[in-house]
């Protein structure tokens, strides 16, 4: 587990680490891990991330509008299914 400064903890899945490492080796980003396509010296902005999520959802055949916050809820739901109801992620209570 790794925690950011706001005490929101997240698990870094090994598969994600491997994917990000492969991406970094392929692109060799200089300033930002995910630079803007239009302005490579700047990071990918929130509207770009929302667009990428919407496009990925359409390609995956998901009818519901896909957005970054939806992924956060999906991750929490799947985590809850795996560990059961209880306290996880820095002591916050999730569940029914």
pLDDT, tens digit, 9 for 90 and up, residues 23-42 = 999 989 888 888 888 888 89
Provide the pLDDT confidence category of residue 71 given band limits of 50, 70 and 90: confident
9 burial type by CB count under 10 A (0-12 exposed, 13-18 middle, 19+ buried) = middle
pTM over 0.85: no
Instruction: Describe the crossing of helices 68-83 and 46-59 by its angle, rounded to 10 degrees.
Output: 60
């Amino acid at each position: 587990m790794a925690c950011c400064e706001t005490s929101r903890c997240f698990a870094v899945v090994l598969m994600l680490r491997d994917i990000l490492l492969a991406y970094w080796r392929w692109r060799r980003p200089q300033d930002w891990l995910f630079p803007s396509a239009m302005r490579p010296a700047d990071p990918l902005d929130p509207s770009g991330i929302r667009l990428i999520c919407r496009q990925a959802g359409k390609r995956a055949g998901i009818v519901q509008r896909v957005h970054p916050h939806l992924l956060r809820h999906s991750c929490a739901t799947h985590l809850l299914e795996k560990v059961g109801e209880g306290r996880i992620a820095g002591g916050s209570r999730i569940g029914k």
